[in-house]
Structure 1
Amino acid sequence: MTSPCPSHCSRPSRVLRRALLPMMVASTLAAPAQAADLLTIAQDALQNNAQLASARSRTGSVEAGRDVERADLLPQVSASGNLTHSREYESQTSSGAGPDLSDLTPAQQQVAAALTSGSQSQDDNVNQFGITLEATQALFNAIDSRQVERTERQIDQQLYSLAATEQGVLINVSTAYFEILRAHEVLEARRAQERAINRQLEQAREQFDVGLIAITEVEEAKAAFDQARAIRIAAESDLQVRFEALERLTGQRYASIDALGEELAIAAPVPADRSAWVERAMQNNPQVLASQAGVEVSRSAVEIARAGHLPQVNAFANYNYADNDADGIEGHDSSSQVGVGVSMPLYTGGRTSATVRQNTYLLESSQYDFEDQRRSTIQKVRSSYTRVTNDVSTVEARAQAVVSNQSALDATRAGYEVGTRNIVDVLNAEQNLYNAVADLASARYDYVIDLLTLRQQAGTLDEEALAEVNAWLGAESIDFQLPGAGELDAVMNIGERPTP
């Protein structure tokens, strides 16, 4: 098993930590708009994607947790005070022989007798005021110190997760973008197919009207036209759905986007070595690095549990002040203390040992999770690399298939004109040609999407990589009008945002 990343391994770019979430207004269909390219739309998604914004806020929360844990290691100062009012009721009665008064003069005896005989009562209203100031400072607290270390590792893990989310947004936006272009090219092929079969139907009707062919051929041409029309309608629906999927990712509407150029360079990925891509993924894939950081988080939890066996040492100082206005009492009371306190857990019912065992199992589980993520990433990188290399050959084969089907259609039409082929053969050849055209368009976009997916699995998909692909876009643009203008009034309308 690959050893986990040490605590000092490098973190993702600080840019990911402080990415802002700007307020923007979504563009509507009523506003004039220029064609957007892939890079522009990707930048919109990085600003406005709700999933990415949530991940950024979650990262800020984890970073704030570091200050929460660190606070326990800093001085703790508290003040408390009290102000009370009390009323005392006292009633006492004396009885018995009383003291010996024989040595006193008669006058003194009368005063003393008056004081010591009968009942005595006294009422008193007392106001009391007190204040206490107390300060403590941890001198040695292994639990709190290791909780701070765990938070640092949690930040590492969250930053890698944020990078993975960002790359996920980029691949999703790129896929949605090229799926629109794919749907558009397929739609164009289906429209051309419908027009071609419609011309064939009109020609068949004209030939039937002059008695050259039977009604059967007209009906077969009509059936082929209806099928082509149904396929074209489905392609139009697919194009609209693809546009709306892009809107969900970016929170904005686009009236037009740039199309892929005809001279797309179809080449094998560089480096042309599958092992090199796997090695790159092990170093850069944020999901692998996040899982690796998760091992360190679990290891910190074990260290925190073990720290429960260690003593805690705290320095303390306090000051107390008290005063009251009771009858016969003047002045106030005050006291102060400075010292060091030590506490040592001797027996906690086995809780500490059980917590160590519990977190040790969780550490082992996280190690297996890391190994599973590593294997999964290796498999995905290898599969993506294989698909890209196969796409290169597939595009070449699909292009040749278009040429071959065009030749077959020309030959079939010639045979139909001389009577050696029937209209069904022509219709089939028409359908085969436009299926080949649609397949070629799909193969081109499969190549682009698979190449970007390979970059994502290798952990190298960023705006620079999209800029390279963006250069493949041509001058042509695709215009599209979505219904429901104004339904999306604002980007990420979550109401009033909280202020930290």
Structure 2
Amino acid sequence: MKHVTSSLTRYRRHRWPFRAGVLTIMSLLAGPASAADLLTISRDALEHNSTLASARAQFGGVQAGVDVARADLRPQLEASGEITHDRQYESPGSSLAGTGGRQDEDYNGAALTLAATQALYDARNGAELERAERQLDQQTYRLAATEQQVLVDVGSAYFDILRAHEVLEARRAQERAIGRQLEQAGEQFEVGLIAITEVEEARARFDQSRAERITAESNLQVSFEALERLTGERYDSLATLQAAMPVMPPTPMRRDDWVAMAMERNPLVLASQAGVEVSRSGVDVARAERLPVIEAFARYQYSDDDREALDGHTSASQVGARVSLPLYTGGRTSAGIRQSTYALEASQYDLEDRRRETIRRVRSLFTQVRNDVATVEARAQAIVSNQSALDATRAGYEVGTRNIVDVLNAEQNLYDAVAAHAEARLDHVINLLNLHQQAGSLDVDFLTTLNGWLTAEAAVSVRPTTPDA
């Protein structure tokens, strides 16, 4: 438990400044902006995401559960009262009948009881309070994990929009280029320079590029819908990635450093650690069923009625202590201890599984981010190479050493390379975002860094326009 408590202290040291920073950003970005950026989207998600709102409500419920458990350790005061109507009937053979005849009487009565108890020793209540506090620790980590997952989902949806936009721009440029090639082929056919087959080849490739552009437009629209579901807001335009966005290996440079960071700060790992302590507290609760309960009590009773034969009222008071000890419960206590012990064992295995899965994901993401650097460089070089190949093919076509199919293939290869380069850049950003989430280092500073890579000079519109065919 000391380990989890220290982990919680360290985590709160990292987490609460993050949340305070996000709230600061939310207040700074409260006004409208010409093009929404990553921080704007994050603010909207933290305010309006339904999954996060549900997690916050669950956190509030668990937090209230601590007060419920603590209340059992405090004094308990109870008042009860009753008002009665009584009818008394004495038969002729009763002792009262011999003294003065039958004694039939109707009367009203009232009684009041005040009782107070205070637990002096109750191991079960103390263990239940400990369990409730550990459940609050666990829910704190779960809420933090939900917050980070929402930010990752929003960031991924945001950059997926930029990915779809970059691909769409490449497909539009491809369609325009092949359209010009089709026009040129038609003109050359009219003057008898080429055969009709080359015109048909160009037309077929143009139709294919048009279909690819339409698909890219559809993907862009769908990606905007995904972002709206996460934030509950619609956006007219989004800031895009700068052309000079840095593509660098993750910092720190050693994979083991990222793994160590995740073991210390990943909220799901910490939630699993807290889950072990919750289960351990459950064992203590079950074992406490065997222990005695000692409590002090005080009671005051007052009663009165309106019978003619009696004057005044009756009152009584008691002060004392009681001890109770379960002797035999039919085996329920022993079974409860076994049940909670198995739950503790299961939670320990769950923690180990969570650690292994987190280590696997951190290592995988670290490798992907590091490889992304080389991939982006290679994709950029592929654009240069394909542009050179296209220029050479066009020159060969002009002198008759290449045909139109060669030119069209070179056009296709160039714009495929452009789209692949755009996707590689966005993959790098999304992988980096996921790596920081797994390491538990998704904070304001990192979001601000990513936001600095954006520019509103060439914003992405939610309603892409179709170029003229």
Q: Per the shorter chain, which TM-score range?
A: over 0.9
CA distance in 1, matches of 2:21, 2:54: 11
Kindly state the Cα deviation for residue 480 of structure 1 after the two structures are TM-superposed.
2.1
Kindly state the Cα deviation for residue 482 of structure 1 after the two structures are TM-superposed.
5.1
**Is the counterpart of residue 10 in structure 1 residue 8 in structure 2?**
yes
Kindly state the Cα deviation for residue 464 of structure 1 after the two structures are TM-superposed.
1.8
**Is the counterpart of residue 196 in structure 1 residue 177 in structure 2?**
yes
Q: SS state of the match for residue 127, structure 1?
A: strand
Change (3 A) 1:93 1:320: closer
Give the equivalent residue in structure 1 for 2:46. 46
**Is the counterpart of residue 180 in structure 1 residue 178 in structure 2?**
no
Give the equivalent residue in structure 2 for 1:81. 81
Contact 2:247 2:373 in 1 (8 A): yes
Q: SS state of the match for residue 140, structure 1?
A: strand
Superposed, 1:450-461 pairs within 5 Å as: 450-461=431-442
**Is the counterpart of residue 224 in structure 1 residue 205 in structure 2?**
yes
Aligned alpha-carbon RMSD (Å): 2.3
Q: SS state of the match for residue 478, structure 1?
A: strand
CA distance in 1, matches of 2:325, 2:393: 95
Kindly state the Cα deviation for residue 8 of structure 1 after the two structures are TM-superposed.
5.0
Letter in 1 for 2:79: A
Give the equivalent residue in structure 2 for 1:260. 241
Q: Specify every segment of 5 or more residues in structure 1 that has no aligned partner in the other structure, as ranges.
A: 25-30, 95-114, 484-500
Kindly state the Cα deviation for residue 478 of structure 1 after the two structures are TM-superposed.
2.1
**Is the counterpart of residue 447 in structure 1 residue 428 in structure 2?**
yes
Deviations 1:422-466 (A, max 9, x none): 111110000000000000000011111111111111000022211
Give the equivalent residue in structure 2 for 1:471. 452
Contact 1:167 1:461 in 2 (8 A): yes
**Is the counterpart of residue 277 in structure 1 residue 258 in structure 2?**
yes
Query: Which residue among 271, 294, 305 is the counterpart of 1:313?
Result: 294
Give the equivalent residue in structure 2 for 1:60. 60
Deviations 1:376-424 (A, max 9, x none): 0000000000000110000000000000000100111111111111111
Give the equivalent residue in structure 1 for 2:216. 235
Kindly state the Cα deviation for residue 129 of structure 1 after the two structures are TM-superposed.
0.9
Letter in 1 for 2:59: T
Letter in 2 for 1:89: Y
Change (3 A) 1:18 1:364: farther
Return the TM-score normalized by structure 2: 0.92
Deviations 1:135-188 (A, max 9, x none): 000000000101000111001100000111111011111111111111111100
Letter in 1 for 2:309: G
Change (3 A) 1:312 1:16: farther
Letter in 1 for 2:268: Q
Kindly state the Cα deviation for residue 20 of structure 1 after the two structures are TM-superposed.
12
Letter in 2 for 1:426: V
Change (3 A) 1:147 1:195: same
Give the equivalent residue in structure 2 for 1:388. 369
Change (3 A) 1:187 1:258: same
Contact 1:75 1:138 in 2 (8 A): yes
Change (3 A) 1:308 1:16: farther
Superposed, 1:401-420 pairs within 5 Å as: 401-420=382-401
Superposed, 1:12-411 pairs within 5 Å as: 12=12, 13=15, 34-92=34-92, 120-411=101-392
Deviations 1:248-278 (A, max 9, x none): 1111111111111011111111111000100
Change (3 A) 1:460 1:205: same
Letter in 1 for 2:232: G
Which moves more between the two structures, 452-461 or 468-477? 468-477
Which moves more between the two structures, 474-483 or 9-18? 9-18
Kindly state the Cα deviation for residue 15 of structure 1 after the two structures are TM-superposed.
7.3
User: What number of residue pairs does the alignment pair up?
Assistant: 452
Letter in 2 for 1:421: R
CA distance in 2, matches of 1:9, 1:468: 27
Kindly state the Cα deviation for residue 9 of structure 1 after the two structures are TM-superposed.
4.0
Q: SS state of the match for residue 122, structure 1?
A: coil
Letter in 1 for 2:380: A
Change (3 A) 1:219 1:477: same
Q: Specify every segment of 5 or more residues in structure 2 that has no aligned partner in the other structure, as ranges.
A: 465-469
Kindly state the Cα deviation for residue 53 of structure 1 after the two structures are TM-superposed.
1.2
Deviations 1:313-344 (A, max 9, x none): 01000011111122311111111100000001
Letter in 2 for 1:313: I
Give the equivalent residue in structure 2 for 1:487. none
Contact 2:296 2:321 in 1 (8 A): yes
Contact 2:152 2:434 in 1 (8 A): yes
Change (3 A) 1:438 1:9: closer
Deviations 1:321-377 (A, max 9, x none): 111122311111111100000001111111111111111111000000000000000
CA distance in 2, matches of 1:126, 1:342: 39
CA distance in 2, matches of 1:448, 1:48: 24
Contact 1:33 1:255 in 2 (8 A): no
Change (3 A) 1:91 1:347: closer
Contact 1:16 1:162 in 2 (8 A): no
Q: Which has the higher helix share?
A: 2
CA distance in 1, matches of 2:122, 2:16: 31
Deviations 1:480-500 (A, max 9, x none): 2459xxxxxxxxxxxxxxxxx
CA distance in 2, matches of 1:344, 1:185: 74
Return the TM-score normalized by structure 1: 0.86
Letter in 2 for 1:55: A
Structure with max Cα Rg: 1
Kindly state the Cα deviation for residue 213 of structure 1 after the two structures are TM-superposed.
1.0
CA distance in 2, matches of 1:284, 1:168: 14
CA distance in 1, matches of 2:290, 2:93: 61
Deviations 1:24-46 (A, max 9, x none): 9xxxxxx9851111111111111
CA distance in 2, matches of 1:246, 1:222: 37
